[in-house]
Amino acid sequence: MVETNGSSSEPVFLIFGKSGWIGGLVGDLLKQQGANFQFANARLEDRSGVIAELERVKPTHVLNAAGVTGRPNVDWCETHKLETIRSNLLGCITLADVCLERGIHMTYYGTGCIFHYDDVFPQGSGKGFKESDKPNFTGSYYSYVKAMTESLIREFPNVLTLRVRMPIVADLTYPRNFITKIIKYDKVIDIPNSMTVLPELLPLSIEMAKRKLTGIMNFTNPGAISHNEILQLYKDYIDPEFTWSNFTVEEQAKVIVAPRSNNLLDTARIEGEFPELLPIRESLIKYVFEPNAAKREETLAAVKEMRGR
């Protein structure tokens, strides 16, 4: 850890990713906490614009939730390679570097979609990828660039990189929510994965920033859960009539452009910081399914409208 600004006074947060999903949620949390924060307007790769923003706000902590994620999905990056490099590599590193020059701690909401089950980390073995493991999945351009960024940014002593995976929120109609996606798809694969229940984990990211943790952090709930297990929870808690069908990874490949990663991340580091962190299934029940079951009719109507059936 490096000596950074504001170690004794109230933290001042500057969030990049104002219009984004995670950036917006982090802003909401800081507002609820009554924290001192602002949103940045500069583009990440615009070094002088970023410097001006830091001079204006004088943050003790930068929270970087900016980057291209692709619309409607990461396949967009396959055909927008320069934009992907500019935001997700050059931009992210520029921001980290400018923060380093000023002794500012930066938290980077990165991704864990840079790993894939293989012979050394077989699916179902319980052996998860650690923070020290080098990315082994570069099958999509999004993941390829993200893996490169992670391998560079780990050299910055002021940066905490959070490996987010398949983020989940309670709103089962929000299109970016992993559960919304799998409820809506005609067919789903069925593979256990590490996932990030945002209502439980995002507050911890703010706490980690305050603690000025650095390095890489697998930012998921402990354990893995499969698509079918989640859909079964949806059926049990919300819609007993819900049905779905599975397809194989090979069949899935025909409806997407680039391959997707499936993996288990090791959560020893985050559990060491937050021993109360719930395993993925318990977290989903507490933060997603029980709150929706408490307003079951409303949720069911909204999901049916979203699915168009």
Among 4, 13, 21, 137, indicate the residue that binds ligand NAP (CB under 6 A). Answer: 21
State the maximum Cα–Cα separation within the chain, in Å, rounded to a whole number.
Answer: 57
Among 130, 154, 176, 184, indicate the residue that binds ligand NAP (CB under 6 A). Answer: 176
Site for ligand NAP contains 59 (CB under 6 A): no
Closest CA to 192 of 144, 271, 125, 146: 125
User: Interface with ligand NAP by CB under 6 A: which range of 13-21, 121-129, 208-216, 276-284?
Assistant: 13-21
Site for ligand NAP contains 27 (CB under 6 A): no
On whether the CB atoms of residues 217 and 194 are closer than 8 A, the answer is no
Comparing CB distances to ligand NAP, the nearer of 31 and 296 is 31
Among 44, 153, 280, 288, indicate the residue that binds ligand NAP (CB under 6 A). Answer: 44
What amino acid occupies position 36? N
Closest CA to 71 of 171, 175, 163, 164: 175
Min dist. Cβ of residue 303 to ligand NAP (A):
19
Q: Residue 144: CB partners within 8 Å, gap ≥ 6? A: 138
Site for ligand NAP contains 67 (CB under 6 A): yes
Site for ligand NAP contains 11 (CB under 6 A): no
Site for ligand NAP contains 223 (CB under 6 A): no
Site for ligand NAP contains 20 (CB under 6 A): yes
Site for ligand NAP contains 47 (CB under 6 A): no
x/- mask, ligand NAP, residues 102-141, rule CB under 6 A, reads: -------xxx------------------------------
Strands 159-164 and 187-188: unpaired
Among 4, 60, 84, 87, indicate the residue that binds ligand NAP (CB under 6 A). Answer: 87
Token pair listed for 75: 């396949």
d(C-alpha 180, C-alpha 150), whole Å: 28
Closest CA to 143 of 288, 270, 258: 258
Site for ligand NAP contains 66 (CB under 6 A): yes
d(C-alpha 50, C-alpha 45), whole Å: 8
Comparing CB distances to ligand NAP, the nearer of 223 and 300 is 223
Min dist. Cβ of residue 112 to ligand NAP (A):
7
Site for ligand NAP contains 23 (CB under 6 A): yes
d(C-alpha 220, C-alpha 200), whole Å: 10
Strands 105-111 and 187-188: unpaired
Question: What is the SS3 assignment for 37?
Answer: strand
Give contact residues for ligand NAP (rule: CB under 6 A): 16-23, 43-45, 65-69, 87, 91, 109-111, 164-165, 167, 176
